């Protein structure tokens, strides 16, 4: 079975509410098509290993959960698939079942391995990486990994690049408290919205975190994205909450705790998805070379703007790069699609990298 055929099979299986059926298909295919050791862990992750016992391990990493589909992408209990102009349209085609299929066929077809080759498809990536985090807590620890999130079209249209870093996301809430009073007697109250406004001024003045990864500048950002406070038009507000979206970079964070210097203001981290930085230039160069051999274009090392499971793996000690079929703007859309020739290309990149590793 080709990567294209497998992509169609996987995309047809709904996996936004429950990843079980998609995991079943991945597991059964690996058992039928390879002689690898295959396991389904207690969390639903599918993990397969070839050449076990080799001193160094390389993992091909994906996830088989998807975000909820648009109404147009559902027909009864199944997903709608459409093939035209060399592309497969359907929920999960770009993010990221095309790359999962490419990794599965590369895992099957790679020969003359000098490493332990691992395939893993996680659950719950779209829910904060719960599958990857659980596997890591259970001891999943490959030395190196190629994560199949999208890197096609970053340096030039149609070119599949290799990401050596990505930003993380820290979402947090600033809470300002005050004392309620009638708005006609402002001196009797402490205005929580004013205190929140002072905190917003602190956030506005923060410098964006920056770092460098393998010669590439990675710049984060900090932005206030929501504000909620007050109870009535004639009441001095006693509470106000402000949401902050921070795009983090490796080893740097914006000093948001400074807002707590303001009386009545506290700061709480709600989510912290880690960034990723490749720490072994030779590994990044090896995968870039495989990418160059697999296409006519000239791939480059690039930086992705958003978090992936590579962040969790990197934080746990795995050296990661990202290389995948999805293009910017495809994931999570009503017309999500993936190019078949790029799925084939990714399968070749993964296989070549594994054989040369």
**What is the chain's mean pLDDT, rounded?**
96
- The HSE-up count of residue 296 (CA atoms within 13 Å, CB side) is 3
Average pLDDT over residues 194-204: 97
Q: Is 226 found in the same domain as 346?
A: no
- Of 239, 272, 305, the one marking the end of a domain is 272
Q: Is 183 found in the same domain as 73?
A: no
**Active site (catalytic) residues:** 65, 125
Beta bridge partners of 78: 75
What is the DSSP pairing of strand 301-304 with strand 82-84? unpaired
Q: Is 146 found in the same domain as 19?
A: yes
What is the DSSP pairing of strand 46-50 with strand 37-40? antiparallel
Buried b (16+ CB within 10 A) or exposed e, 299-334: bbbbbbeebbbbbbbbbbebbbbbbbbbbeebbbee
- Of 272, 289, 314, the one marking the end of a domain is 272
Predicted confidence (pLDDT) per residue in 91-136, tens digit: 999 999 999 999 999 999 999 999 999 999 999 999 999 999 999 9
Q: Return the CA Rg of the chain.
A: 23
DSSP H helices in the chain: 3-11, 20-33, 98-109, 130-137, 192-205, 281-293, 309-315, 340-356
Predicted confidence (pLDDT) per residue in 341-356, tens digit: 999 999 999 999 999 9
Work out how many domains the chain is built from and give that number. 2
Share above pLDDT 90 across residues of the chain, in percent, rounded to a whole number: 96
Predicted confidence (pLDDT) per residue in 143-190, tens digit: 999 999 999 999 999 999 999 999 999 999 999 999 999 999 999 999
Predicted confidence (pLDDT) per residue in 272-309, tens digit: 999 999 999 999 999 999 999 999 999 999 999 989 99
**Does residue 241 surpass a pLDDT of 90?**
yes
**pLDDT recorded at residue 1:** 83
Which residue segment(s) compose the domain that 74 sits in? 3-167+275-356
Q: What CATH number is associated with residue 186?
A: 3.30.70.360
**pLDDT recorded at residue 78:** 87
The 3-state secondary structure of 169-199, one letter per residue: EEEEEEEEECECEECCCHHHCECHHHHHHHH
**pLDDT recorded at residue 100:** 98
Q: Is 264 found in the same domain as 126?
A: no
For residue 87, what is the enclosing H or E element? strand 87-89
Q: Is 349 found in the same domain as 226?
A: no
Average pLDDT over residues 317-329: 96
**pLDDT recorded at residue 105:** 98
Q: Is 174 found in the same domain as 157?
A: no
Q: How many other CB atoms are found less than 10 A from the CB of residue 201?
A: 11
Predicted confidence (pLDDT) per residue in 27-78, tens digit: 999 999 999 999 999 999 999 999 998 999 999 999 999 999 988 999 888 8
Q: Is 174 found in the same domain as 162?
A: no
- Of 221, 249, 272, the one marking the end of a domain is 272
Q: Is 220 found in the same domain as 93?
A: no
Q: Is 54 found in the same domain as 157?
A: yes
The structure tokens listed for 111 are: 């020969």
Q: What CATH number is associated with residue 349?
A: 3.40.630.10
Q: Is 232 found in the same domain as 162?
A: no
Share above pLDDT 70 across residues of the chain, in percent, rounded to a whole number: 100
Q: Is 292 found in the same domain as 213?
A: no
Q: Is 154 found in the same domain as 60?
A: yes
**pLDDT recorded at residue 77:** 81
């Amino acid at each position: 079975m080709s990567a294209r055929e497998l992509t169609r099979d996987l995309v047809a299986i709904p996996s936004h509410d429950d990843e079980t059926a998609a995991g079943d298909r991945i597991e059964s295919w690996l058992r039928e098509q390879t002689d690898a050791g295959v396991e389904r862990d207690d969390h639903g992750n599918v993990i397969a290993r070839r050449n076990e016992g080799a001193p160094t391990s390389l993992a091909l990493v994906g996830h088989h959960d998807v975000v909820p589909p648009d109404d147009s992408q559902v027909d009864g209990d199944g997903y709608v698939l459409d093939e035209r102009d060399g592309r497969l349209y359907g929920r999960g085609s770009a993010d990221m079942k095309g790359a999962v299929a490419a990794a599965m066929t590369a895992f099957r077809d790679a020969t003359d391995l000098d490493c332990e080759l691992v395939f893993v498809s996680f659950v719950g990536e779209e829910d904060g990486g719960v599958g990857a985090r659980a596997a890591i807590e259970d001891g999943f620890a490959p030395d190196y990994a190629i994560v199949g999130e999208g890197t096609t079209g970053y340096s030039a249209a149609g070119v599949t690049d290799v990401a050596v870093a990505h930003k993380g996301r820290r979402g947090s809430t600033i809470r300002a408290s005050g004392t309620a009073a009638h708005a006609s007697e402002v001196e009797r109250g402490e205005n929580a919205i004013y205190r929140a406004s002072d905190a917003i001024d602190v956030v506005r003045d923060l410098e964006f975190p920056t770092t460098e990864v393998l010669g590439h500048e990675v710049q984060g950002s900090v932005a206030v994205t929501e504000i909620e406070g007050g109870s009535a038009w004639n009441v001095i507000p006693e509470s106000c909450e402000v949401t902050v979206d921070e795009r983090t970079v490796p080893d740097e964070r914006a000093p948001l705790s400074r807002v707590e210097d303001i009386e009545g203001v506290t700061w709480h981290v709600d989510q912290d998805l880690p960034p990723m930085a490749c720490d072994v230039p030779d590994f990044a160069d090896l995968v870039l070379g495989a990418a160059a051999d697999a296409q006519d274009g000239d791939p480059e090392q690039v930086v992705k703007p958003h978090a992936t499971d590579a962040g969790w793996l990197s934080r746990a000690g795995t050296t990661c790069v990202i290389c995948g079929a999805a293009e910017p703007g495809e994931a999570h859309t009503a017309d999500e699609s993936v190019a078949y020739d790029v799925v084939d290309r990714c399968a070749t990149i993964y296989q070549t990298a594994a054989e040369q590793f």
